[in-house]
């Protein structure tokens, strides 16, 4: 669909996030300390495999479920959630391996998280909730819709996410418009071999020469972080990365019959210049597309007031 040369399978993928996002992801993955949740806002449910999933619950009214992206947590939704909680019961979990949802039982996959979502709807007795997903959360919703259909869903909102993240000669609408399966598998394999080196090289490259010097193996900070990361079981998160790389929900979205809002950031480091808006318009004829000209990959974080207002209007139009 894009007039570009095929991606080079040997080239490394561009950086997925900036330095601030990388540090936030380290916190949300539990590699650095995580603060306590706000008192009184937390609930939880126990999934069918015994995993306890914490859920932040705010407000009262028609149900609205917010599903965060990779390296995020319920905290990233709070500015939006607090506004929406004036008229809705808003539920935002910490997905497996994120925030306070640790230790992790077994592998993390999109299929497992879609099952978690179905079980969460059961646990809280949610009737036709609006489901909102960002990035990995959007893929989780796509997997849920693929596996369980739209019978229990009132409406869906997807934020800055392609239905297939890897690219090839026939699909250029994945990450960066040119991130092949070979690129991602190489990155995942590197993390399986040496998590600390892979992560610290990424953070050092983002932080510039000063930080890079302090993250080398013989620097005190670099030595301490390598010791700490060496104790982390990264396998569940890498299983998740492989699951996302293998996912392809293009055919499922062709059958989408629930109201759909698609929000895209025009400056997204993942999809800027990739015409996902045209693909969604062509594929889901009834979809409402909203592009944020000044937003990156997380329009709901950079412009929470606009996002909350547009989501409320979308919900009201399809009530």
pLDDT at 219: 74
Percent of the chain with pLDDT over 90: 66
The distance from CA 158 to its chain's CA centroid, rounded to whole angstroms, is: 10
- In order of 25, 56, 130, the CA distances from 33 in angstroms are 11, 19, 32
Tens digits of residue pLDDT in 68-110: 999 899 999 999 999 999 999 999 999 999 989 988 888 999 9
Tens digits of residue pLDDT in 52-78: 999 999 999 999 999 999 989 999 999
Identify the residue with better confidence: 18 or 43: 43
pLDDT at 120 > cutoff 90: yes
3-class secondary structure for the chain?
A: CCCCCCCCCCCCCCCCCCHHHHHHHHHHCCCCCCCCCCCCCEEEEECCCCCEEEEEEECCCCEEEEECCCCCCHHHHHHHHHHHCCCCEEEEECCCCCCCCCCCCCCCCHHHHHHHHHHHHHHHCCCCCEEEEECHHHHHHHHHHHHHCCCCCCEEEEECCCCCCCEECCECCCHHHCCEHHHHHHHHHHHHHCHHHHHHHHHHHHHHHHHHHHCCCCCHHHHHHHHHHCCCCCHHHHHHHHHHHHCCCHHHHHCCCCCEEEEEECCCCCCCCCCHHHHHHHHCCCCEEEEECCCCCCHHHHCHHHHHHHHHHHHHHCC
Identify the residue with better confidence: 151 or 199: 151
pLDDT at 102: 86
pLDDT at 236: 87
> In terms of Cα–Cα distance, which of 189, 188, 185, 145 is closest to 163?
145
pLDDT at 224: 72
Q: Which of 27-31, 120-124, 291-295 has the lowest mean pLDDT?
A: 27-31
pLDDT at 42: 81
Q: Which of 164-168, 184-188, 221-225 has the lowest mean pLDDT?
A: 221-225
Q: What is the mean pLDDT of residues 247-254?
A: 97
pLDDT at 21 > cutoff 60: no
pLDDT at 286: 97
pLDDT at 278 > cutoff 60: yes
pLDDT at 264: 98
State the burial class of residue 20 (Cβ atoms within 10 Å of its Cβ: 0-12, 13-18, 19+). Answer: exposed
Tens digits of residue pLDDT in 126-157: 999 999 999 999 999 999 999 999 999 999 99
CA–CA gap between residue 47 and residue 200 (Å, rounded): 33
pLDDT at 319 > cutoff 50: yes
Decide: 3 and 169 in contact? Cβ < 8 Å: no
pLDDT at 231: 62
pLDDT at 208 > cutoff 70: no
* Average confidence score pLDDT of the chain: 85
CA–CA gap between residue 137 and residue 240 (Å, rounded): 12
């Amino acid at each position: 669909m894009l007039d570009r040369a095929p991606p080079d399978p040997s080239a490394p993928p561009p950086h997925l996030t900036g330095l601030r996002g990388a540090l936030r992801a380290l916190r949300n993955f539990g590699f650095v300390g995580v603060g306590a949740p706000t008192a009184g806002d937390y609930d939880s449910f126990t999934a069918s495999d015994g995993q306890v999933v914490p859920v932040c619950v705010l407000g009262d009214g028609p149900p609205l479920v917010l599903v965060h992206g990779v390296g995020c947590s319920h905290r990233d939704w709070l500015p939006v959630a607090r506004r929406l909680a004036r008229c809705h019961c808003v539920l935002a979990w910490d997905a497996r391996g994120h925030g306070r949802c640790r230790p992790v039982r077994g592998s993390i996959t999109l299929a497992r998280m879609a099952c978690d979502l179905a079980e969460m709807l059961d646990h809280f007795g949610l009737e036709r909730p609006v489901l909102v997903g960002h990035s990995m959360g959007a893929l989780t919703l796509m997997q849920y819709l693929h596996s369980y259909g739209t019978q229990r869903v009132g409406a869906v909102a997807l934020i800055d996410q392609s239905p297939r993240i890897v690219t090839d000669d026939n699909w250029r609408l994945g990450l960066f418009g040119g991130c092949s399966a070979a690129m991602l598998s190489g990155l995942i394999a590197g993390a399986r071999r040496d998590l600390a080196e892979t992560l610290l090289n990424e953070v050092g490259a983002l932080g510039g020469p000063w930080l890079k010097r302090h993250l080398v193996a013989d620097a005190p900070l670099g030595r301490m972080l390598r010791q700490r990361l060496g104790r982390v079981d990264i396998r569940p998160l890498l299983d998740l990365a492989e699951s996302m790389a293998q996912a392809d929900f293009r055919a499922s979205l062709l059958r989408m019959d629930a109201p759909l809002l698609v929000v895209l950031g025009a400056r997204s480091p993942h999809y800027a210049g990739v015409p996902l808006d045209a693909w969604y318009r062509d594929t889901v004829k009834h979809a409402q597309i909203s592009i944020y000209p000044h937003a990156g990959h997380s329009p709901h974080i950079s412009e929470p007031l606009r996002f909350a207002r547009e989501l409320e209007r979308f919900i009201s139009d399809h009530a």
